Amino acid sequence: MTTLFLYIALSLGFISSENPKLTLNITNIESVKGNLVIGVFNTHENFLEDGSAIKTYTFKVDATSKQIILSDLPKGEYAISMYHDENSDNECNRNFLGIPKEGYAFSNNVKPKFSAPTFDQCKFTLSGDTSLAIKMLN
């Protein structure tokens, strides 16, 4: 009986087992080489620390703009950081001050001034299909 109720609820849309689509429209990619590495975070704790993203995606750069659709994130609050790994060494290369030498970006197009942005500055709510425009900083 419980299985029948669950089937009816799913078919009528009372319970959705599908995640919303997150579309990232990324522009201002400096060169057509290497990869875009995208980190998705869902908490301010350890935001931007290596290995603390709940999901990490890597996509080959084949144009100076790219549309990426993610459909494996449940509804919730997230923040995104990304960098253009132009030399494909699997790290965001930085200068002696710690500033990225390769292109980088954050959700909400946050442009850091004197320190890394916070989760709250970058966060957005994924409650249904969502589209974000993100411009790479070079």
Enter the pTM of the model. 0.85
pLDDT tens digits, one per residue of 27-80:
999 999 999 999 999 999 999 998 999 999 999 999 999 999 999 999 999 999
Count: domains in the chain: 1
What is the C-alpha to C-alpha distance for residues 79 and 121, in angstroms, rounded to an integer?
Answer: 8
- The CATH number of whichever domain residue 128 belongs to comes to 2.60.40
Burial of 73 (0-12, 13-18, 19+ CB in 10 A): middle
Residue 80 lies in a domain: yes
pLDDT tens per residue across span 62-74 = 999 999 999 999 9
25 within domain boundaries = yes
Give the domain extent around 27: 18-135
Q: How far apart are CA 53 and CA 60, in angstroms?
A: 20
117 in any annotated domain: yes
